[in-house]
């Protein structure tokens, strides 16, 4: 299997992060890339640099005012006297149907869901290359490869069409799904990250052509709190095309695999022509977020079960934070995925 990654993706180095209001080091560190690259290589993948795919595939998912904001907000922020070194919002609209704010501070609140997605000088470029890794993986699968892996960092699944959040700026999984839709009538996105893929859900919520399924720690007491509940099923033409499978905190391999079996049944019934796996590794028992208790061999079983769908598959990296087993967990997933059944 080919893997895609560009060095520019490592330059984004967010500093600010609040945990229950307390300043902490930001967990989405560039070093994650080294661990994930090692994990991909251990599974036998070859790493290739993606091409510059321009804004087209990204603009198919995100609004023009949001992309303009992401590209220019850091320079604008620098002109505010006494502003923070990174762009961080301090006010948000309660409803978003009013006029569009003109100021940098107003737009930061409009386009950033939380304080976990600080924007620095390198953020836009890193996010572009991360998305282009996803585009290239999707194009590789469209050209006939059974699967491809995109080492997307920064991650993407908390980014909505016009809102960043939770370390995410461009929704790489959604971008990959839209690329696949050029050839596939129906595409499924299966999100196995610890956290609900709220941005991905939001982007496709009213659409019947992209099924979104997410397994995650129950948001009743976990980020992202306002999304990821079982009663969110889609809307309009998309009603019934979103499935959330919240799991109790600290659920281990058995509960995760049981939820996954439900997810795979729904995906089979949708009969997609291609699959995007939003691969978070933070459901791991030793991940610093500590939400679920999946083991390293558990990731191999998850990969194997997903491969059993027999679909052309783009695997897009989402979360998974620094711990000794981060690379091993990627190796386990990819190795299990390679042991395709039937």
Residues labelled catalytic: 158
In the complex, minimum distance from the CB of residue 217 to Zn ion, in angstroms, rounded to a whole number? 9
Nearer to Zn ion, 193 or 218 (CB): 193
Q: What gap in Å lies between CA 67 and CA 192, rounded to an integer?
A: 27
CB of 341 to Zn ion, least distance (A): 27
| Distance in angstroms (rounded) separating the CA atoms of residues 99 and 103 | 12
Compute φ and ψ for 264, nearest 5 degrees. Answer: -70, -35
Which CB sits closer to Zn ion, 41 or 249? Answer: 249
CB 67 within 8 A of CB 55: yes
Nearer to Zn ion, 139 or 193 (CB): 193
Q: Binding to Zn ion by residue 282, rule CB under 5 A?
A: yes
How many other CB atoms sit within 10 Å of the CB of residue 305? 17
| Residues in 247-276 that interact with Zn ion by CB under 5 A | none
Are 314 and 148 spatial neighbours (Cβ–Cβ below 8 Å)? yes
- Positive/negative CA dihedral, 327, 130, 12, 115: negative
Quick one: which segment of 38-46, 70-78, 117-125, 311-319 binds Zn ion (CB under 5 A)?
Answer: 311-319
Q: What is the distance between the alpha carbons of residues 266 and 255, in angstroms, rounded to a whole number?
A: 17
Give whichever of 61 and 168 is closer to Zn ion, judged by the CB atom: 168
319 in contact with Zn ion (CB under 5 A): yes
Q: Is 157 in the site for Zn ion (CB under 5 A)?
A: no
Scanning 19-27, 95-103, 218-226, 314-322 for contacts with Zn ion by CB under 5 A, the matching segment is 314-322
Whether the CB-CB separation of 129 and 50 falls below 8 Å is answered with yes
Instruction: Answer yes or no: are the C-beta atoms of 119 and 89 closer than 8 Å.
Output: no
Region from 66-74, 217-225, 292-300, 318-326 binding Zn ion, contact rule CB under 5 A: 318-326
Is residue 28 close enough to count as binding Zn ion by CB under 5 A?
Answer: no
Q: Which residue ranges make up the site for Zn ion (CB under 5 A)?
A: 193-195, 280, 282, 319
């Amino acid at each position: 299997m080919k893997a895609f990654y560009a060095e520019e993706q490592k330059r984004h180095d967010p500093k600010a992060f609040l945990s229950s209001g307390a300043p902490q080091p930001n967990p989405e560190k560039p070093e994650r890339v080294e661990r994930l690259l090692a994990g991909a290589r251990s599974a036998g993948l070859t790493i290739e640099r993606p091409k510059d795919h321009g804004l087209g595939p990204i603009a198919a998912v995100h609004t023009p005012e949001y992309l303009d904001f992401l590209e220019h907000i850091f320079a604008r922020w620098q002109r505010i006297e006494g502003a923070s070194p990174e762009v961080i919002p301090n006010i948000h609209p309660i409803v978003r149907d009013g006029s569009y704010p003109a100021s940098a501070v107003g737009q930061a609140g409009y386009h950033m869901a939380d304080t976990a997605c600080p924007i620095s000088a390198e953020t836009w470029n890193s996010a572009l290359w991360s998305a282009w890794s996803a585009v290239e993986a999707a194009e590789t699968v469209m050209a006939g490869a059974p699967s491809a892996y995109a080492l997307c960092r920064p991650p993407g699944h908390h980014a909505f069409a016009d809102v960043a959040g939770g370390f995410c700026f461009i929704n790489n999984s959604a971008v990959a799904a839209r690329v696949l839709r050029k050839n596939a009538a129906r595409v499924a996105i299966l999100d196995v990250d610890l956290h609900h893929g709220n941005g991905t859900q939001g982007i496709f919520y009213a659409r019947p052509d992209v099924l979104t399924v997410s397994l995650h720690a129950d948001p009743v007491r976990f980020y992202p709190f306002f999304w990821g509940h079982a009663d969110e099923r889609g809307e309009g033409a998309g009603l019934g095309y979103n499935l959330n499978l919240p799991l109790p905190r600290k659920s281990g391999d058995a509960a995760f695999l049981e939820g996954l079996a439900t997810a795979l049944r729904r995906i089979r019934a949708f009969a997609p022509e291609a699959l995007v796996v939003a691969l978070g590794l933070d459901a791991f028992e030793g991940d610093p977020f500590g939400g679920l208790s999946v083991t390293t061999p558990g990731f191999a079983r998850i990969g194997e079960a997903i491969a059993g769908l027999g679909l052309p598959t783009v695997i897009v990296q989402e979360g998974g934070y620094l711990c000794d087993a981060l690379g091993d967990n990627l190796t386990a997933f990819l190795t299990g995925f390679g042991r395709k059944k039937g």
